[in-house]
């Protein structure tokens, strides 16, 4: 009797367990339906599944936006921008892009109406749109990444080329609309206080020389202008030292930029390194070319890194950098002498010597 009662109790417990499991299953399904009903557009997961495991295959990166188009490829010397003469790219930027794309995750479904793409910044830039096309290819030309991104101030949107569906996504990406952020475009790494003599031949007006005796001394006019009062010591310092602070916006191999110089700068350092800078108008921009030589044997250690870094390249500079690099003499003198109205202007005279 005791055994029969135990069996009946065991059967009832099993029935209750089965009922409880069934109820839990029904509740889970009901909850899932309710969640989907409340947020039918929610989606989770990576935008590019499995990208981390395939990045070793990457051979080429193409970025197209309304502002710039550039290509980056793996070369024998490392990753370089191929449409800038294989100028090396910053490894940190490359890591920032690949990490950002790997971790890019879906948030929710947005519109599939092409008429609304422009508002989200995902129209195709290859067809004049406002999005940013990001493509990463392997050696066979297969896409590891192929996305049009709309990067807004507080949101990122994504869609695949040829697919109208847009998704809100989350992640962190480097700026993509400016090719220069990929490149270390600082042509000189000299400390400004190493400069002792700077000869400036501006685009308009007389050439002039600025000089100082030591690192902590102020620059002053030299040569025929010795003793003339500057508008300020800061103005002379900025003109003399700006070659070490110029911030280029683009780069090309030096041989592709040709033409007569429109202005020149020649700087001499304390150890006897002589740095020649030519400014050439090419297209609609001004380009800076640099070359250095040693006046004394001890200057070779300064000259060699400059030539290794900069002599093979021409650097595009902004109008503001051009003005600060080669300011007109009259802008630096406190009491400039008026020039005759019919005085001829030489576009690139030679710097005077004292």
Q: Which residues pair with 168 in a beta bridge?
A: 108, 157
* DSSP 8-state code for residue 98: H
pLDDT for the residue 48: 96
HSE-CB at 113 with a 13 A cutoff on CA atoms is: 4
Indicate the pTM of the whole model: 0.78
pLDDT for the residue 342: 46
In sequence order, the 6+-apart residues with CB closer than 8 A to the CB of 317 are: 246, 247, 248, 249, 279, 285, 286, 287, 288, 325
Each residue's pLDDT tens digit, 189-207: 999 999 999 999 999 999 9
Strands 87-88 and 156-159: unpaired
> Strand 58-64's sheet: what is its strand order?
87-88, 78-81, 69-75, 58-64, 132-138, 143-151, 156-159, 167-170, 105-109
Residue numbers of the chain with a pLDDT score lower than 50: 1-3, 5-6, 10, 13-14, 16-39, 342-354
Could you tell me the two tokens for 255?
């041989």
pLDDT for the residue 28: 42
pLDDT for the residue 42: 64
pLDDT for the residue 336: 76
Could you tell me the two tokens for 159?
């869609």
Each residue's pLDDT tens digit, 80-117: 999 999 999 999 999 999 999 999 999 999 999 999 99
């Amino acid at each position: 009797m005791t055994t029969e009662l135990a069996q009946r109790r065991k059967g009832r417990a099993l029935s209750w367990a089965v009922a409880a499991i069934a109820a839990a299953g029904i509740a889970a399904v009901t909850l899932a339906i309710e969640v989907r009903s409340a947020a039918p557009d929610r989606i989770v997961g990576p935008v590019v599944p499995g990208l981390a495991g395939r990045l070793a295959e990457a051979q080429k990166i193409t970025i197209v936006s309304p502002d710039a188009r550039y290509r980056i490829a793996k070369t024998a010397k490392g990753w370089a921008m191929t449409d800038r003469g294989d100028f090396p790219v910053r490894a940190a930027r490359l890591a920032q892009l690949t990490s950002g794309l790997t971790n890019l995750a879906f948030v929710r479904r947005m519109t599939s109406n092409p008429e609304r793409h422009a508002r989200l910044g995902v129209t195709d830039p290859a067809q004049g749109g406002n999005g940013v096309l990001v493509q990463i290819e392997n050696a066979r030309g297969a896409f590891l990444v192929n996305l049009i991104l709309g990067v807004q101030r507080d949101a990122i949107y994504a869609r695949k080329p040829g697919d109208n569906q847009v998704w809100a996504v989350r992640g962190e990406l480097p700026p993509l609309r400016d090719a220069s952020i990929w490149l270390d475009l600082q042509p000189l790494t000299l400390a400004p206080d190493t400069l002792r003599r700077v000869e400036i031949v501006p685009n308009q007006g007389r050439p002039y020389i600025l000089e100082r005796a030591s690192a902590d001394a102020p620059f002053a006019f030299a040569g025929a202008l010795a003793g003339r009062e500057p508008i300020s010591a800061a103005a002379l310092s900025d003109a003399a030292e700006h070659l070490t602070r110029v911030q280029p916006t683009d780069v090309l191999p030096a041989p592709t930029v040709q033409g007569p110089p429109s202005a020149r700068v020649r700087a001499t350092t304390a150890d006897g390194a002589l740095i020649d800078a030519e400014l050439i108008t090419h297209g609609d921009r001004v380009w800076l070319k640099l070359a250095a030589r040693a006046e004394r044997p001890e200057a070779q250690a300064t000259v060699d890194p400059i030539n290794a870094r900069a002599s093979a390249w021409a650097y595009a500079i902004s109008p503001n950098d051009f003005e600060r690099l080669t300011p007109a003499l009259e802008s630096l003198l406190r009491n400039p002498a008026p020039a005759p109205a019919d005085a001829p202007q030489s576009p690139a005279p030679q710097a005077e010597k004292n």
